Amino acid sequence: MLYWFLKWIALGPVLRLVFRPKAYGVDHVPEEGPAILASNHLSYADWLFMPLTLTRRVTFVAKAEYFTSPGIKGWFQKKFFTGAGQVPIDRSGANAAEGAMKSAMKILAEGDLFGIYPEGTRSHDGRLYRGKTGVARLALETGAPVIPCAVVGTDVVAPTGKVYGTWTRPVVRFGKPLDFSRYAGMENDRYILRSITDEIMYEIMRLSGQEYVDLYASKAKELDKEAAREAAKEEAREKARQAAAEQAAQDKAGDGPEQKAS
């Protein structure tokens, strides 16, 4: 109930009025029955704008901590995330990935739409990164179609690492449903899973227009951080060399007259 209140009365109308998001290919999303919405991930605002363009509820999984924090703040946090269409990861599994899979399968079994970000994390530089194979496994185990979708402009509205962004009109594009029933029973074949995931990511790339990088986003972030650290170290070393050279020049200039006078 809170989901629909936020979407149609409280939060949704404000977002529509202020940002006027545009949507294309909405007719590719079925009016009923389960489906997996596989999207790129540019900003934390993605899960607000993409569902806003549809009449059906879209559910995502989120960290259990969002629903279990103590106190008044924790209570409001739980209510907000629940109302915004997110459910906690099922922690009865051996790990978070397995827990997310269980939660997703339950949502699809109930005939609902499940939203997933195959990259696993937000893109830190606007490029599209290699997808994790969980989306492929989910499609094969549930038989649900995968609808590739792309959000554009949310990284301007809500940039990563910043509290406020700038105004732009977000765009959401939905592609044609992808049917992978031809691979039924092959959910344990890692080559099949990779092939399916790459096909999904290709469609997302086509819809978003992003540059594709065949590297996991988490790894790319680590490499960029390491490169930034090395650059900072090199800058510090260069400043030390310059300071040493300047000091040596000053010492030499100071020693010259004294040597001549002696």
Q: Which CATH architecture has domain 2-214?
A: 3-Layer(aba) Sandwich (3.40)
Question: What Å distances lie between residue 127 and 113, 149, 214, 215, CA to CA?
Answer: 26, 15, 10, 11
Which ranges constitute the DSSP H helices of the chain? 2-5, 11-19, 46-52, 65-68, 71-83, 96-109, 134-142, 154-157, 190-208, 217-261
pLDDT of residue 261: 52
Distance CA 118, CA 201 (A): 8
Separate counts of helices (H) and strands (E) for the chain:
10, 9
pLDDT of residue 85: 73
Distance CA 137, CA 187 (A): 5
Distance CA 42, CA 191 (A): 27
Question: What Å distances lie between residue 252 and 61, 240, 257, 258, CA to CA?
Answer: 67, 18, 10, 10
Rounded to a whole number of angstroms, the CA Rg of the chain reads 25
Q: Show me where the domains of the chain are located.
A: 2-214, 216-262
Residue 158 in contact with residue 44, Cβ under 8 Å?
yes
Mean pLDDT in each 10-residue stretch from start to end of the chain (262 residues)? 83 93 97 97 93 94 76 78 74 71 93 96 95 96 97 93 86 98 95 98 98 95 90 90 86 66 51
